[in-house]
């Protein structure tokens, strides 16, 4: 079945760039998402990318998609302490409402 | 818009008790879903609905029932709670369409003793 994998932890220094990686198995995935979860809160959509795109930039966020390798990454430029959170990758196919989430990557930003 | 609301925020149950977690949205979204979040396991889909009167099972449906009598509400029922159901439960809603995504509620933290 479909699977989405992420590394569990990432630690970076304030001001550095963070890169969070995700791999997925469903080749029919049409939409790929990045969500952010702060402590005690629900998930907040950060950005998304369609499977026919290679890259999407949105202010400090850059999403790269390698469809051949089924690899998705989220780069956060100039990482701030407020970026400390859990980041989830998710995918869904066209015509389906079912989202498959990764395990989440806990980003810790050191001052 | 209030978005997606969930009640209660926190609940303690004894094994074998039943309860209903409430979820409501005021965005006229056709799609609603329930997830559970456990440490190291991400979010797992329990049940989902693509419209009033239509529900389907997700990845981990056992021990949970749902119904969708209105577009706005999607309650999750635990008929006989078990300690393995201790988790944080999130409800989400959304629309199909280009770039559409899900909007999440704040979560219900459930402890089953």
B12-23 residue pLDDT tens: 999 999 999 999
Instruction: Report which of residues A76 and A94 the model is more confident about.
Output: A76
**Residue A51 confidence (pLDDT) above 80:** yes
Tell me how far apart the alpha carbons of residues A6 and A25 are, in angstroms, rounded to a whole number: 12
Residues of B with CB under 8 A from a CB of A: 4, 31, 33, 35, 40-45, 48, 50, 58, 90, 92, 94, 96, 99, 101-107
* Nearest residue of chain B to residue A104 (CA atoms): B42
Q: Do B42 and A104 touch (CB under 8 A)?
A: yes
A95 vs A28: CA distance, rounded Å:
10
The pLDDT value recorded for residue A2 is 67
In this predicted structure, the answer to whether residue A1 has a pLDDT above a threshold of 70 is: no
Q: Is B68 exposed, middle or buried (0-12, 13-18, 19+ CB in 10 A)?
A: buried
Residues B40 and A9 sit within 8 Å (Cβ to Cβ)? no
Across the interface, of A45, A95, A104, the residue whose CB is closest to B101 is: A45
Better-scored residue on pLDDT, A62 or A27: A62
Share of chain A above pLDDT 90, in %: 63
**Least-confidence region, from A4-8, A55-59, B65-69, B100-104:** B100-104
pLDDT score of B69: 96
User: Residue B108: enclosing H or E segment and its boundaries?
Assistant: strand B108-112
Is the pLDDT score of A36 beyond 80?
Answer: yes
Strands B10-13 and B108-112: parallel
Asked whether the predicted pLDDT for residue B98 surpasses 70, the reply is no
Cβ contact B102–A45 (<8 Å): yes
């Amino acid at each position: 079945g479909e699977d989405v994998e992420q590394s569990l932890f990432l630690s970076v220094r304030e001001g550095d760039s963070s890169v969070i990686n995700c791999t997925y198995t469903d080749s029919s995935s049409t939409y790929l998402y990045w969500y952010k979860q702060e402590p005690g809160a629900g998930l907040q959509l950060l950005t998304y990318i369609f499977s026919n795109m290679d890259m999407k930039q949105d202010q400090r966020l850059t999403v790269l998609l390698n469809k051949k390798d089924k690899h998705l990454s989220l780069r956060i430029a100039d990482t701030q302490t407020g970026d400390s959170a859990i980041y989830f990758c998710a995918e869904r196919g066209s015509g389906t409402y079912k989202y498959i989430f990764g395990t989440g990557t806990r980003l810790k930003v050191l001052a | 818009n209030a978005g997606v609301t969930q009640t209660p925020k926190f609940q303690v149950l004894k094994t074998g008790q039943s309860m209903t977690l409430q979820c409501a949205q005021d965005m006229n979204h056709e799609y609603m879903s329930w997830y559970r979040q456990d440490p190291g396991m991400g979010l797992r889909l329990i049940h989902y609905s693509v419209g009033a009167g239509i529900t389907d099972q997700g990845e981990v449906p056992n021990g949970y029932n749902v119904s969708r009598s209105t577009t706005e509400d999607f309650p999750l029922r635990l008929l006989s709670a078990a300690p393995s159901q201790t988790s944080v439960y999130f409800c989400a809603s959304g629309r199909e369409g280009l770039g559409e995504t899900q909007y999440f509620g704040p979560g219900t933290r459930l402890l089953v003793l």
